């Protein structure tokens, strides 16, 4: 990644954390200050979705033209995407605790997100259960496509069709419909961009570390 992209990501998140915690927000019943979770919870889900999309993209490329480099990209994008997903659930639980009265309300959106992450955790279990590198890469690439195909309806489709209380689901209007005014948009959109850029940076670093580790292993084998 270019240095200016990394600097941009850092600057965006510094701005988001400062403005997100200190800037004025609409004073709405029940939500009150918890509406600030929008700057962290939702952008993390955007980042997770982007990273999982990149993972499944490289999984498809791997199945078409297998290579260790592509397999490492599939794995690391899934790794960082899962971390973003866990952070998204935790920030969502914090918001739910103050808005709904409990961290886990059994809402279809929450349940769907938890199941989707469990499906991705099974991806890592699958990789760890196979010794043959080529077999592990190929089977996990196929499973990665299945995991992504399961995540989309679990998080974005089914909650909209059920009686979910989550904003934007089950007939409930999303934040942007009734209270995401221009002040919040000036923080929310940079937050989405910032979390995606930071996710890309972390993934890029992890891929480079894996490449170095593989190169060291190959040198040791040659000796």
Segment 55-95, tens digit of pLDDT: 999 999 999 999 999 999 999 999 999 999 999 999 989 88
- Whether residue 1 contacts residue 205, with contact meaning beta carbons closer than 8 Å, is answered with no
Q: What are phi and psi of 97, to 5 degrees?
A: -60, -40
pLDDT of 139 reads 95
pLDDT of 29 reads 66
* 109 vs 111: CA distance, rounded Å: 6
- Whether residue 71 contacts residue 62, with contact meaning beta carbons closer than 8 Å, is answered with yes
Q: Quote the mean pLDDT of the chain.
A: 87
- Whether residue 204 contacts residue 1, with contact meaning beta carbons closer than 8 Å, is answered with yes
* Cα–Cα distances in angstroms (integers) from residue 37 to residues 16, 92, 155, 181, 191, in the given order: 11, 8, 18, 15, 11
* 117 vs 199: CA distance, rounded Å: 17
* 139 vs 100: CA distance, rounded Å: 41
Q: What is the pTM of this model?
A: 0.88
**Is residue 169's pLDDT more than 70?**
no
Top CATH class, 3-222: mainly alpha
Report the 3 state secondary structure along 41-57.
Answer: HHHHHHHHHHHHHHHHH
pLDDT class for 205, splitting at 50, 70, 90? Answer: very high
Where exactly are the structural domains of the chain?
3-222
* Cα–Cα distances in angstroms (integers) from residue 28 to residues 35, 36, 42, 108, 216, in the given order: 9, 12, 19, 24, 57
* 30 vs 139: CA distance, rounded Å: 47
Provide the sign of the torsion angle of the four alpha carbons 92, 85, 87, 2, taken in this order: negative
């Amino acid at each position: 990644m270019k240095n200016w992209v990394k600097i941009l990501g850092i600057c965006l998140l510094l701005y988001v954390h400062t403005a997100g915690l200190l800037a004025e927000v609409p004073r709405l019943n029940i939500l009150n200050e918890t509406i600030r979770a929008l700057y962290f919870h939702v952008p993390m889900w955007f980042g997770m979705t982007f990273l999982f999309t990149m993972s499944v993209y490289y999984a498809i490329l791997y199945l078409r033209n297998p290579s260790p480099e592509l397999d490492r990209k599939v794995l690391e994008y899934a790794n960082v995407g899962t971390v973003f997903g866990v952070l998204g659930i935790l920030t969502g639980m914090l918001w739910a605790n103050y808005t709904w009265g409990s961290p886990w309300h059994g809402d279809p959106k929450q349940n769907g997100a938890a199941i989707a992450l469990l499906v991705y955790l099974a991806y890592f279990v699958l990789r760890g259960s196979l010794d043959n590198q080529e077999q592990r890469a190929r089977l996990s690439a196929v499973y990665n496509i299945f995991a992504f195909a399961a995540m989309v309806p679990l998080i974005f489709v089914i909650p909209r069709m059920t009686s979910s209380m989550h904003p934007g689901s089950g007939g409930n209007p999303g934040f942007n419909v009734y209270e995401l005014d221009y002040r919040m948009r000036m923080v929310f959109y940079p937050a989405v961009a910032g979390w995606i850029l930071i996710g890309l940076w972390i993934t890029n670093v992890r891929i480079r570390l894996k490449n170095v580790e593989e190169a060291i292993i190959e040198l040791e084998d040659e000796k």
